[in-house]
């Protein structure tokens, strides 16, 4: 199948995210998106658009024996407890519930309160709020932050905020080469 046909790629990506692919086709498609960045970005776009439906779905605590069964199956040598809630990990899930707006605001506020943020702390924050790697990518290639927001599936609307946050982070006040959001 030719995944790079202009019409076919987006349709397959949408099918994949909607859950309409038969399982064999889906596994084949997953191998393709592993090496096709354009298609992977299309999939990420659909996940971002429809993901709020999952984020809004009610949390229901699974019974404890589910974790015990998982533990047995992965062959836990030493028993590990997954019963005690850990405050710091609340961010982890909240990351998903929070919109990109909240996420970027969190970073912007964090940066505002900490004028010279320790890079590792900002990175950890980006990871906690669900965009691991983005800060690193933005820092590595500050002129490329516009593109990197696209790669990370940050919506066009949100892009200027993220670009500002990245510029604050990198200390580059002149966004001369940042592509303007369309």
Partner 1 sequence: MRRTALGDKSAFADLYQATSAKLFGIALRISGRREIAEEVLQEAFVAIWGRAKDYDPVRGSVMTWLVTIVRHCAIDQLRHQQSRPEGHSAPEEVLTSFIATGRTDISAELRALQRCLDELDPQPRRAVLLAYLYGLTRDEIAARLKVPVGTVKSSLWRSLERLQRCLGS
Residue list 91-120, contact with partner 1 (CB under 8 A): 92-93, 95-102
- Which is nearer to partner 1, 86 or 173 (by Cβ)? 86
- Using CB under 8 A as the binding rule, the residues of this chain from 29 to 88 that contact partner 1 are 33, 40, 43-63, 66-67, 69-70, 73-74, 76-78, 80-86
Nearer of residues 59 and 115 to partner 1, judged by Cβ: 59
Interaction residues for partner 1, span 143-172 (CB under 8 A) = 151-153, 155-157
Name the residue nearer to partner 1 (CB basis): 173 or 180: 180
Stretch of residues binding partner 1 (CB under 8 A), selected from 109-117, 126-134, 138-146, 166-174: 126-134
CA distance 145 to 151: 10
How many residues bind to partner 1 according to rule CB under 8 A?
A: 73
Residue 34 Cα distances to 21, 27, 81, 89, 151, angstroms: 17, 11, 33, 29, 14
Q: In Å, what is the CA distance from 114 to each residue of 76, 100, 169?
A: 41, 21, 10
Smallest distance, partner 1 to C-beta of residue 173, A: 27
Whether 68 and 109 have beta carbons less than 8 Å apart is answered as no
| Residue 20 near partner 1 by CB under 8 A | yes
Tokens of 176: 């001369």
Whose tokens are 């303007």? That residue is 180
């Amino acid at each position: 199948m030719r995944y790079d046909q202009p019409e076919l790629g987006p349709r397959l990506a949408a099918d994949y995210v909607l859950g309409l692919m038969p399982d064999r086709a889906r596994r084949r498609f997953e191998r393709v998106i592993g090496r096709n960045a354009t298609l992977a970005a299309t999939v990420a776009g659909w996940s971002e658009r429809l993901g709020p439906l999952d984020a809004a779905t009610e949390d229901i605590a699974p019974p404890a024996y589910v974790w015990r069964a998982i533990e047995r199956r992965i062959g836990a040598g030493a028993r590990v407890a997954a019963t005690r809630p850990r405050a710091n990990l609340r961010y982890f899930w909240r990351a998903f519930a929070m919109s990109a707006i909240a996420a970027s605001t969190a970073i912007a506020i964090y940066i505002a309160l900490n004028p010279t943020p320790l890079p590792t702390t900002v990175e950890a924050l980006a990871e906690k709020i669900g965009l691991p790697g983005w800060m690193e990518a933005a820092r590595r290639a500050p002129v490329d932050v516009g593109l990197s927001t696209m790669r990370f599936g940050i919506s066009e609307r949100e892009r200027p905020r993220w670009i500002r946050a990245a510029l604050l982070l990198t200390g580059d006040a002149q966004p001369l080469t940042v592509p303007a959001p369309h």
